[in-house]
A = this chain, B = another copy of it.
Amino acid sequence: MCGDRTEVNGTNGTTATPTLGGKPLHQRSPYESVGDFLSNVNNFKIIESTLREGEQFANAFFDTETKIKIATALSDFGVEYIELTSPVASQQSREDCEAICKLGLKSKILTHVRCTMEDAKIACDTGVDGVDLVIGTSSFLREHSHGKDMLAIEKAAIEVIEYVKSRGVEVRFSSEDSFRSDLVDLLQLYRAVDRIGVNRVGVADTVGCATPRQVYDLVRTLRGVVSCDIEIHLHNDTGCAIANAHAALEAGATHIDTSVLGIGERNGITSLGGLMARMMVGSREYVMSRYKLHKIKEIEDMVADAVQINIPFNNPITGFCAFTHKAGIHAKAILANPSTYEILKPEDYGLNRYVHFASRLTGWNAIKSRVEQLGLSMTDAQVKEVTAKIKQMADIRPLAIDDTDSIIRSFHLELQQK
């Protein structure tokens, strides 16, 4: 559960150089996170909920064929769990859930139902590997949704969890809107279900209000109260769902809910690609060992197509300009060493880097690289001269690559003719 342990000293009994995270202390960056006993940044599992939370996205309608295609792609990608819409939602939802269970995918199949005996029975009958139970615990939801008090919630939870366990099926119990629920009530409830052997408890920022520190604090507190796994489900209304997932792992969460492109209710949840981008920075080896990152673009395109949306221009990894460098000062350094302005490497995802040289912000290093790409030969002084011409033209109107290339070629021709 805790893969990122601290080694304060060598473990071979000799008086070794002090190390941390496998490196001598003095070689580490002071900004590197200190691997601590709680952190699971190097040991987490993904609960992929495109086919549950994602189906709650305004534009989503997945027919059976699409669901099977998405589930298969996610399993091939390497997600540990795939969560499906409740079989109680509709007859087709139930049939699709049964069909996906029969595919024999590598990922475990979960379904997500209300915490009632009726729902739990139908869920277990579909053949899923696990059932995710959920109930609202905030005063808002207790008043305006189901109207139950905490004792009634605990009683219902225990009955349903014991039933699911009796069916030999993995079971998770989650509160809803955890960050607006009474903290003491919540901890009492989680402890009660942990004691009867629930596999996982879930914390949910259902409205997307939490900050990273709030997530860290709640998960850290919960980690001290329960011994089971901890799952976190984070909505993105205030743009913090990816950062909050990282904070939850640092505090000891074990499972992160994601959906492809983050689709879900309202603005959705932590996106699968966004989580990959975030975790690749600090946990590259772990991520590379489990997930087929080259497939991320294909999966995102598949889902975007199914729900008829465009990939956001600034989507992590696959946004059209994620690896495009424009300012002259950036281009110069990138051409010397891509790590200067890139924390992610496009080749890890089967993508390409692009140095944008057709603008007034360009510099002569970028143009020099383009001159070489075009197979032309110029001195640095000549490159600087043509760069000035390009910047002058780019001040007047937007330049396409063709335009820039024409300026370079005609300048080169002039040089030949001199």
Residues of A within 8 A of B (CB): 29-31, 33, 55-59, 61, 85, 89-93, 114, 136, 138, 140-141, 143-145, 177, 179-180, 182-183, 206-214, 216-218, 236-244, 246-247, 250, 261-263, 265-268, 271, 274, 277-278, 280-282, 309-310, 312-316, 319-330, 332-333, 336-337, 339-344, 356, 359-361, 391-392, 394-398
23 contacts between A and B (CB under 8 A): A30-B183, A31-B180, A61-B398, A90-B361, A90-B395, A92-B360, A144-B333, A145-B333, A209-B343, A211-B282, A213-B250, A236-B314, A237-B277, A237-B343, A238-B316, A239-B277, A240-B278, A261-B314, A265-B325, A265-B330, A266-B321, A267-B321, A310-B313
Q: Please name the residue on chain B nearest to A339 by beta carbon.
A: B140
Q: How far is the CB of A297 from chain B (nearest CB, A)?
A: 15
Is B341 a contact partner of A206 (Cβ separation < 8 A)? yes
Q: A31-B180, A240-B246, A277-B238 are in contact. Are A266 and B322 (CB under 8 A)?
A: yes
Q: Specify which chain B residues have a CB less than 8 angstroms from the CB of A92 in the assembled complex.
A: 360, 395-396
Q: Please name the residue on chain B nearest to A273 by beta carbon.
A: B239
Q: A183-B30, A239-B277 are in contact. Are A93 and B360 (CB under 8 A)?
A: yes
Q: Please name the residue on chain B nearest to A323 by beta carbon.
A: B266
- A13-B149 Cα distance, complex, nearest whole Å: 40
Q: How far is the CB of A64 from chain B (nearest CB, A)?
A: 10
- A325-B56 Cα distance, complex, nearest whole Å: 8
Q: Specify which chain B residues have a CB less than 8 angstroms from the CB of A243 in the assembled complex.
A: 211-212, 239-240, 242-244
Q: Please name the residue on chain B nearest to A324 by beta carbon.
A: B58
Q: A92-B395, A211-B33, A360-B93 are in contact. Are A240 and B238 (CB under 8 A)?
A: no
Is A207 a contact partner of B144 (Cβ separation < 8 A)? no
Q: A145-B336, A212-B246, A330-B56 are in contact. Are A238 and B391 (CB under 8 A)?
A: no
Q: A238-B280, A239-B271 known; 4 other A-B pairs, CB under 8 Å?
A: A31-B179, A31-B217, A140-B339, A312-B312
Q: Please name the residue on chain B nearest to A311 by beta carbon.
A: B312
- A93-B359 Cα distance, complex, nearest whole Å: 12
Q: Specify which chain B residues have a CB less than 8 angstroms from the CB of A211 in the assembled complex.
A: 33, 243, 246-247, 250, 278, 282
- A309-B311 Cα distance, complex, nearest whole Å: 11
Is B314 a contact partner of A262 (Cβ separation < 8 A)? yes
Q: How far is the CB of A33 from chain B (nearest CB, A)?
A: 7
Q: Specify which chain B residues have a CB less than 8 angstroms from the CB of A237 in the assembled complex.
A: 277, 316, 322, 342-344
Q: A57-B326, A144-B333, A314-B262 are in contact. Are A90 and B278 (CB under 8 A)?
A: no
Q: Specify which chain B residues have a CB less than 8 angstroms from the CB of A207 in the assembled complex.
A: 341-343
Is B330 a contact partner of A31 (Cβ separation < 8 A)? no
Q: Specify which chain B residues have a CB less than 8 angstroms from the CB of A261 in the assembled complex.
A: 314
- A242-B267 Cα distance, complex, nearest whole Å: 15
Is A247 a contact partner of B330 (Cβ separation < 8 A)? no
Is B343 a contact partner of A208 (Cβ separation < 8 A)? yes
- A93-B391 Cα distance, complex, nearest whole Å: 10
Is A319 a contact partner of B267 (Cβ separation < 8 A)? yes
Q: How far is the CB of A357 from chain B (nearest CB, A)?
A: 11
Q: Specify which chain B residues have a CB less than 8 angstroms from the CB of A337 in the assembled complex.
A: 140, 143-144
